Structure 1
Amino acid sequence: MNHSTPPVLQQKHKARKRFGQNFLHDHGVINRIIASVYPKSGDHVVEIGPGQGALTGQLLDGAGELDVIELDRDLIPWLKLHFGINRQFRVHEADALTFDFESLKQDERPLRIVGNLPYNISTPLIFHLLSFAGTVRDMHFMLQKEVVERLCATHGDNHYGRLSVMVQYYCRAEYLFQVGSGAFRPAPKVDSAIVRLTPWDELPHPCKDVALLESIVKDAFAMRRKTLRNSLKKHISADELTALDVDPSIRPEHLPLESFVRIADYLVQQRS
């Protein structure tokens, strides 16, 4: 059964600023996203913020099973009416920022998460989702283009920061393609992009204390214009950084993930 967005829903439902809603309507972009996700029979797909169902029908058709997380209660009856004929379609009225994605697991299959994420919650939501990385096969998100650039940036890049380091600790991040503002109603003031995040089967740089790593990375980039000697002085001395083969005179955007892990592991060792 091929699904399409119900026209009544498009006319009646007005995008709400408080939910950061911008509804995708460009069929070329929709098809390109579906091709990137490539949902197959047997996949357990989860869609965050299905909105007016632009991606929902094709995700459900491809996988045959779909959980959707939707906060706007006015959209839920329409989603149930349009897609609920399939018993493998389940709607959860919930805030994705606090939702327990582990609760969706029914068997050994990992989750495949897809979403057109509101710009105002994208960063905290990604940090929340990282805590479920062990139960996720991949994540495909539409985000503000600048956020995708930050997710995928490597050290030495101006976009490289806390988000880059912590996401890449858990996942491989791939910038797939850009989406212009005209693909949405209402059109946002910024361009978007699609990113694929794939949790590592084995962490390339496992850390002994991830909470400490997060604290170090956060402090390093809180004052990104300062050198590591100054931004990390409450954690470690300049001489200790030098001993760890880290130049204390550089700024944090020049330090690769593995060096942040080395600093954290050293501090764990010192404390024990």
Structure 2
Amino acid sequence: MNDSPAFRRDAKKHLGQNFLHDHSVIERIVQAIDPRPGDAIVEIGPGQGALTFPLLQRHGRITAIEFDRDLLDPLRAAAQAHGELDLVAANVLDVDFGALAQRLGVEQIRLAGNLPYNLSSPILFHALDYATSIRDMHFMLQKEVVDRMAAGPGSKVYGRLSVMLQAYCAVTPLFVVAPGSFRPAPKVDSAVVRLVPRDPASIGVQDPKRFADVVRAAFGQRRKTLRNALSGVADVALIEAAGLRPELRAEQIDVAGFVRLGNLPVIG
């Protein structure tokens, strides 16, 4: 008789759970991550262990951050057959990745996970706050979000997320995943993306908060020109000093242009 805790069959909609079950997709993700000895792999939202257990079999030990307490005991029980699972019971948005890296005895961790669609952007921005403590990230996200992450100037989906992520990371979409690979099947396609934080010396952002404020204001009202959208953040003289034309809209400005603008002093 097996008395090990069992996984619930149903996903919790309020947590944005969609459990991956397609083994070919899982193997492609593991190959993309390519765990090596000495790596500190941290999975966000292991769910029912679809990616967790193959990573454990490949690597031997991983850390996983899980918010749903109903999954903790089943994960611990099932993981014993695959490797050593270090479970952190927490909301990932409350996790200090720098402190976690220190606890794991490494300078940088490697993040992975099938992110809940309703929290993907907050998790990405949270990770940016700890970019110096992260070597790379491999995430499954809604394809629409990955398209926005990787979009260039002039694209209809180029926006705040594109600029903020590309300023700090190299963003590489890897492959698309069909809805049938999940249980329950979402109504949209998903995609796997790789993010590699840039060398801090090459980023060029002098004041991260100022940069974030400029980008947020510029895209806050997309139809407005820079002259109008940035009226409370940068005047025409500053916009021109950054080498930008005030009559352009935010989606026409590349990442380097936003970095130049963000590095200029605040008006007033």
- TM-score norm. by structure 1 comes to 0.91
Q: 1:244 to 1:87 in 2, by over 3 A?
A: closer
Does 1:229 pair with 2:236?
A: no
SS at 1:50 equivalent: coil
The share of aligned pairs that are identical, in percent, is 46
Partner of 1:23: 19
CA–CA separation in structure 1 for the residues paired with 2:26 and 2:188: 18
Does 1:49 pair with 2:17?
A: no
SS at 1:32 equivalent: helix
After superposition, the C-alpha distances for 1:74-93 in whole angstroms (9 at most, x for unaligned) are 11111100114677421111
Q: 1:92 to 1:244 in 2, by over 3 A?
A: closer
After superposition, the C-alpha distances for 1:90-142 in whole angstroms (9 at most, x for unaligned) are 11111111112223223234201101000101001110111111111100000
Contact 2:5–2:73 under 8 Å retained in 1: no
Moved runs in structure 1, 4+ residues, more than 4 A?
none
Partner of 1:80: 76
Q: CA RMSD in A?
A: 1.9
Partner of 1:122: 120
CA–CA separation in structure 2 for the residues paired with 1:21 and 1:87: 24
- The total of aligned residue pairs comes to 263
Instruction: Look up the equivalent residue of 2:165 and give its one-letter code.
Output: V
Contact 2:217–2:233 under 8 Å retained in 1: no
CA–CA separation in structure 1 for the residues paired with 2:189 and 2:5: 26
Partner of 1:93: 89
Ranges in structure 2 where 5+ consecutive residues have no aligned partner:
none
SS at 1:21 equivalent: coil
Contact 1:205–1:258 under 8 Å retained in 2: no
Partner of 2:242: 244
Instruction: Look up the equivalent residue of 1:198 and give its one-letter code.
Output: V
Contact 1:181–1:191 under 8 Å retained in 2: yes
Partner of 1:207: 205
Q: 1:238 to 1:206 in 2, by over 3 A?
A: same
SS at 2:17 equivalent: coil
Instruction: Look up the equivalent residue of 1:171 and give its one-letter code.
Output: C
Q: What are the within-5 Å matches in structure 2 for residues 172-191 of structure 1?
A: 172-191=170-189
SS at 2:92 equivalent: coil
Ranges in structure 1 where 5+ consecutive residues have no aligned partner:
1-5
After superposition, the C-alpha distances for 1:27-65 in whole angstroms (9 at most, x for unaligned) are 111111111111122211000110010011121122222
Partner of 1:3: none
Does 1:59 pair with 2:70?
A: no
SS at 1:74 equivalent: helix
Partner of 2:130: 132
CA–CA separation in structure 1 for the residues paired with 2:244 and 2:214: 14
The range that moved more, 44-53 or 148-157, is 148-157
After superposition, the C-alpha distances for 1:202-261 in whole angstroms (9 at most, x for unaligned) are 453312211011001001001011111110111222243223320111110111111111
- How far residue 159 of structure 1 moved from its aligned partner, in angstroms, is 1.4
- TM-score norm. by structure 2 comes to 0.92
CA–CA separation in structure 1 for the residues paired with 2:211 and 2:198: 18
CA–CA separation in structure 2 for the residues paired with 1:243 and 1:39: 46
Contact 2:117–2:141 under 8 Å retained in 1: yes
Q: 1:169 to 1:238 in 2, by over 3 A?
A: same
